[in-house]
Amino acid sequence: MASVAILRAFRRREVQTASVSAFRSVCVFFSLSIFIFCLRDHFLGSIASNGKTNLIGKLGHLARPFCSRPIGNDVIGIDLGTTNSCVAVMEGKTPRVIENAEGTRTTPSVFAINQKGELLVGTPAKRQGVTNPTGTISGSKRLIGRGYGDPQTQKEMKMVPYKIVKAPNGDAWVEANGQKFSPSQIGANILTKMKETAESYLGKTITKAVVTVPAYFNDAQRQATKDAGKIAGLDVQRIINEPTAAALSYGMNNKEGVIAVFDLGGGTFDVSILEISSGVFEVKATNGDTFLGGEDFDNTLLEYLVSEFKRSDNIDLTKDKLALQRLREAAEKAKIELSSTSQTEINLPFITADASGAKHLNITLTRSKFEGLVGKLIERTRSPCQNCLKDAGVSIKEIDEVLLVGGMTRVPKVQDIVSEIFGKSPCKGVNPDEAVAMGAAIQGGILRGDVKELLLLDVTPLSLGIETLGGIFTRLINRNTTIPTKKSQVFSTAADNQMQVGIKVLQGEREMAADNKKFGFYVFGYAVSGWIRWMRSRRRTNDSPVVNGDVSCEAFFCSLIIETHELKAFAVKMVWN
């Protein structure tokens, strides 16, 4: 009777947290039932062959829902971080962070290929980083969606032990022990690890996920993240902004008011202003810096340690990759320790050697010295916060709470500047490492229909427009516009009697088109049907419908449609002489 009750509960989806042991017990029960009935039929012959088939068929139908790895319709939430990643799932109406195989709730976003050619992800990859610096990839999220010639890519090349190479399409890829990978492929391996963690906990195959990205990610970076999910075998149901996800986690328990989310993670910084009212989460504005985070703090401290050792021992450690990797890990450890202590010892014996023998590094680092080194980095968070408040049309006095998200918000100096900017002490009611993944799981619950009382209204972080005469960037959809949205505008041609019109779609905030991110270039000619419509699934840079005619164009009507941070359609109507 107990097994029947459990079966019915599972079929009604009321038992959502049944233990694995109970699950396996029922599996064994039905498997044994089938086996016993088959033996009885074989030896006693008491059931006709057609009856036996029906009986076994019925029992097989009952046992099927309890197979070892059924395909579930759960939508997991994944925080794909620069330094660490986290996965969560909804249990009823409560988000739960899932521990990985190592027993920790976050997983290092590290990928490696060891000397045997084995692929390692997470903690095992991070552990062997000291002995395999060129084959260990960390912080690859900072390269996702970026070109090789991007100034930020060139800056990153000088700070990482592995190679950053130019891909055939001009993107920045990484090389580990002679093998080349795109940042999307690295991200896919990390997402696969998150997927497997969730599958191990839930006991079923996972195919759907909500993945978070920094709020200030552009379209190319968001698409590269979706590509990573596709490679990992995940149908990415939605890409949502990290601060928005954190706000969902915070406001799940009927909390209301205007909140600011200050998200300083391992590689990026975001700030968002939201208003929560009656279950509606309305993002007012968002801002940030996609190249400001804990990695920069580590690099600054690393440079200091290198310079101190060179001053005392006259040896440049930047030429020794193994020593540099040891220094990098020591810098990260010291940074973490200084969040709770006033000083720490950095002690690395046998860091290198010269003709006189082995050399050791021993430096005492105080919190005040650390804060002095990273002061400029912390100060860089001020301008995005002020711009976000301005765009949201909200004064400091109207902010009810300030949420801290991301591991770097544990640094006391960061908390001080947050209090200074917003005029109040930040709230520490959410876990800075887990809030984003929990919010993503809540969004998954909304999409699945399990959470019906919440509504999320997000915004587009960057303006979208086209290039007009003189190389000017003309905005059609301004930043911080609530999505989904549609904007249309009429433009005249640059000259009379034009046979074609070239339209360059761009994303960014700079006044000159050349300084913004190119979305695509499209050439349109005479079309009898009037409208030429391009859909997202057919998008390819420099790929455009071209229809030539014997008449000239005098004006064109351009329309952009954006949904969930993605340009879904782009339509042009030509006005001909």
Report the pLDDT averaged over residues 281-289: 95
Provide the pLDDT for residue 565: 66
Specify whether 263 is catalytic. yes
Q: At the top level of CATH, which class does the domain 75-292+380-457 belong to?
A: alpha beta
Residue of 82 and 10 predicted with greater confidence = 82
Parallel/antiparallel/unpaired status of strands 208-213 and 75-79: parallel
Please, which pLDDT band fits residue 415 given cuts at 50, 70 and 90? Answer: very high
* Phi and psi, residue 82, nearest 5°: -70, -45
Provide the pLDDT for residue 66: 39
The tally of CA atoms less than 13 A away on the side-chain side of residue 209 is 34
0.85 exceeded by pTM: no
Provide the pLDDT for residue 518: 86
Please, which pLDDT band fits residue 572 given cuts at 50, 70 and 90? Answer: low
Specify whether 91 is catalytic. no
108: three-class secondary structure by DSSP: strand
> Per the structure block, which two tokens stand in for 355?
């003709």
Provide the pLDDT for residue 82: 96
Among candidate residues 227, 263, 289, 467, the one labeled active-site is 263
Provide the pLDDT for residue 285: 96
Query: Which numeric CATH code is attached to 462-576?
Result: 2.60.34.10
Specify whether 79 is catalytic. yes
Summarize pLDDT for 541-555 with one digit per residue, the tens.
Answer: 444 433 333 444 455
Provide the pLDDT for residue 554: 52
Q: Of 105-114, 121-130, 526-535, where does mean pLDDT reach its minimum?
A: 526-535
Can the peptide bond before residue 183 be classed as cis, meaning omega within 30 degrees of 0? Answer: no
530: three-class secondary structure by DSSP: coil
CA distance 227 to 221: 10
The residue with tokens 């010639």 is: 149
Please, which pLDDT band fits residue 535 given cuts at 50, 70 and 90? Answer: very low
Q: Of 124-138, 224-238, 533-547, 553-567, where does mean pLDDT reach its minimum?
A: 533-547
Report the pLDDT averaged over residues 400-408: 96
**Residue 493: what residue type?**
T
Q: Does residue 12 register a pLDDT over 50?
A: no
Provide the pLDDT for residue 27: 45
Concatenating the DSSP letter of every residue in 297-347 gives HHHHHHHHHHHHHHHHH---GGG-HHHHHHHHHHHHHHHHHTTTSSEEEEE
Q: For the chain, what is the mean pLDDT?
A: 83
Specify whether 141 is catalytic. yes
Residues 284 and 274 sit within 8 Å (Cβ to Cβ): yes
Q: Which residues contact 39 (CB under 8 A, 6 or more apart)?
A: none
Q: Of 34-48, 475-489, 501-515, where does mean pLDDT reach its minimum?
A: 34-48
Provide the pLDDT for residue 11: 38
**In the chain, % of residues over pLDDT 90:** 63
Report the pLDDT averaged over residues 29-54: 41
Please, which pLDDT band fits residue 361 given cuts at 50, 70 and 90? Answer: very high
Provide the pLDDT for residue 21: 43
Q: Does residue 190 register a pLDDT over 60?
A: yes
Provide the pLDDT for residue 492: 81
Q: Of 187-196, 351-360, 403-412, 416-425, where does mean pLDDT reach its minimum?
A: 351-360
414: three-class secondary structure by DSSP: helix
User: Counting runs of H as helices and runs of E as strands, what totals does the chain give?
Assistant: 15, 29
Q: Does residue 268 register a pLDDT over 80?
A: yes
Burial code (b: 16+ CB inside 10 Å, e: under 16) for 75-84 equals: bbbbbbbbbb
Residue of 18 and 424 predicted with greater confidence = 424
Q: Does residue 46 register a pLDDT over 60?
A: no
Q: Does residue 242 register a pLDDT over 70?
A: yes
Provide the pLDDT for residue 252: 82
Provide the pLDDT for residue 483: 87
Report the pLDDT averaged over residues 326-331: 94
Q: At the top level of CATH, which class does the domain 294-376 belong to?
A: alpha beta
Provide the pLDDT for residue 502: 81
31: three-class secondary structure by DSSP: helix
Among candidate residues 41, 156, 219, 242, the one labeled active-site is 242
Q: Does residue 52 register a pLDDT over 60?
A: no
Among candidate residues 41, 79, 219, 458, the one labeled active-site is 79
Residues 402 and 274 sit within 8 Å (Cβ to Cβ): no
**Strands lying side by side in the sheet with 280-289:** 401-405, 257-264, 269-277, 280-289, 455-457
**In the chain, % of residues over pLDDT 70:** 78
